[in-house]
Structure 1
């Protein structure tokens, strides 16, 4: 493989996470199903934000979290995502760069605020996510840095950004550029809510050979394929994706690569605090090990270690020394 400036370049929602704790009554009062993810318009997001308790604001978004994890493990990471020229946009850009992630997408003035995700964490560590995409869904093909895509060994895309027409076109153009350069494309389904109305688009990309590595959880692959169980979903998707990795919560993760199945247990944690970012950091661990040439067993182990670290505290970004924990 030719040398690249970056190990992984991600395209995804440029979102600022606003994280606060709440009780179950708060969720019921605001008609928020526990553990769900829903999209909000700016006005509804303002109302919920005003009702939330004390919160912390950090750069977030699924693929952006993965890049933060990769950088923490010593990988060379970059990110493409759209922010507005407002305070939250400045927070996002500063946070990403401070973490060692290259981020140079210019802000836009489109009358939309920088995206935000209002995350409510209940005492049982479940997170309920309420996302206002804002400017992030205005990412256009002409915002792409094509040289950056060619100079990254892996392009990672997220399902959250695949629905709206404009950023979907940007993602598909990025796939063309990456594959023309001989680079790999990883794709994460992100959340089962992303599948509604997008199955045909996802499957079209997968069946056309656009995805080299697919990340999903067990519910997502069953919904995507219509399979009754994990085995059926693996058989269906395994025909089209060279590497398929499915997370199964406390049961660990399963990979199918070159027709061979590998199961790996989850790494136990002393105390489960907040599941926000578990899948994002798992993907980061897999990609960090993969880009260093490790096999699938070590990739799954590294992902499990990174996921275990992030669910042991609040927030979707690592607090411990991940580089020391994973020892790549």
Structure 2
């Protein structure tokens, strides 16, 4: 099998992992912790490292980002070079003189976490730093991670690059997960993620929403511009999916199912994969729907970078995204198996301190999928019949109880 190549563009953080925090400190106080460690992080960085390790000899993962020319930044670069799960990180990571490395201080308790972050290098990730190199190669996957963190990517240059890459490939994929949007806007800078027409749709009707604008080429062009229409796979968690699906709508979207229905109606060719905590993973494309249960975790250790698919129901989606993408690249037609890989990788990671400190090997995931089956459940794929009613097709799959210790 020929080696595939994946380009991952996004955020690189150094995580200052503070473990064993019983309660968050108040101003002017001190609390004890059990450990402090320096780890490579960032939503895209974690996904890239995990994907490179899971892909093994079948996949080369190239991570494009920026790091500071300071000790934290050089520590990040040294760690990735020594780890050897990525291809040529010293070439693909841009060293920025005089810019502090983006760092995230993570206070981890027994069930949840809190963070404080510096975004200096992450905000300087731009398309122009990498476009020539990306256009010179062919890719099985281009993945955008940490999108809301990387505000320098919220411009037409990125959209033009992705269009050019898609036009050149016969076999390709564009994927993007989206971490929490601290602004609460869920639209990207200037509506970059999903550009909407005016509220009246240019037709004088103040109640017209993005779903009901149908008249005129100009309205359709605006509705289908922005980043989302360019994606083959979209990987938010439930809160992110609901926030993004609610943009431009008269009422807020409240559930993963509603978000998938909204997003697939607008972008029917995009596979929307929503990580829904203890419920598992839900996905849809056009009229198709899939659901895979969460992999139970009996010994929750750390949510950092693990994803939102485990019974702990925490994390940023990094490992889950990598697990899904690793299998999806092997067989894009088999969505349920890719979803189960995502669930298994997320569950394995939260059982370990640091979560993404050491990327998983594919053999570890296969062992869970093959030997961890204790009870059976159903993946339900709903296909829309001609009258709009869902036609159910049930396929057997495994709910994976994972034991530790």
Per the normalisation by structure 1, the TM-score is 0.83
Q: Is 1:310 aligned to 2:308, yes or no?
A: no
Alignment partner, residue 179 of structure 1: 166
Pair 1:326 & 2:360 matched: no
Q: Distance in 2 between matches of 1:30 and 1:67?
A: 38
Q: Decide which moves more: 151-160 or 270-279.
A: 151-160
Aligned-pair CA distance for 1:274: 1.1
Of residues 221-230 and 201-210 in structure 1, the stretch that sits farther from structure 2 once superposed is: 201-210
2:153 matches 1:167: yes
Spell out, residue by residue over 1:26-50, the C-alpha distance to the aligned partner (whole angstroms, 9 max, x if none). 344489xxxxxxxxxxxxxxxx9xx
* Matches for 1:112-123 after TM superposition, within 5 Å: 112-123=99-110
Contact 1:13 1:161 (8 Å CA) reproduced: no
Cα deviation for residue 145 of structure 1 reads 4.7
The answer as to 2:243 corresponding to 1:223 is: yes
Does 2:40 correspond to 1:59? yes
Aligned residue-pair number: 305
2:329 pairs with 291, 294, 306, which one?
291
Conservation of the 8 A alpha-carbon contact between 1:217 and 1:248: yes
* Aligned with residue 106 of structure 1, among 78, 94, 97: 94
**Residue aligning to 1:260:** 288
Task: Select the residue among 195, 203, 216 that pairs with 1:204.
Answer: 195
Q: Alpha carbons of 1:217 and 1:180: their partners in 2 closer, same or farther (altered >3 Å)? A: same
Larger proportion of helix: 1
- Does the Cα contact within 8 Å between 2:11 and 2:146 map onto a contact in 1? no
The CA deviation string for residues 251-284 of structure 1, in whole angstroms up to 9 with x for no partner, is: 1000113421000011112211111112101000
Contact 1:162/1:168, CA 8 A, preserved across alignment? no
Q: Which residue matches 1:42?
A: none
Q: Check whether the contact 1:252–1:263 (CA below 8 A) recurs between aligned residues.
A: yes
Unpaired runs of 5+ residues, structure 1, are 32-47
Could you tell me how far apart the structure 2 residues matched to 1:297 and 1:25 are?
39
Q: Work out whether 1:19 is the aligned partner of 2:5.
A: no
Q: Would the aligned equivalents of 1:115 and 1:133 in 2 still touch at CA under 8 Å?
A: yes
Higher relative contact order (CA 8 A, sep 6+): 1
Could you say which structure has the larger radius of gyration? 2
Structure 1 residues 5 and 325: CA distance shift in structure 2, 3 A: closer
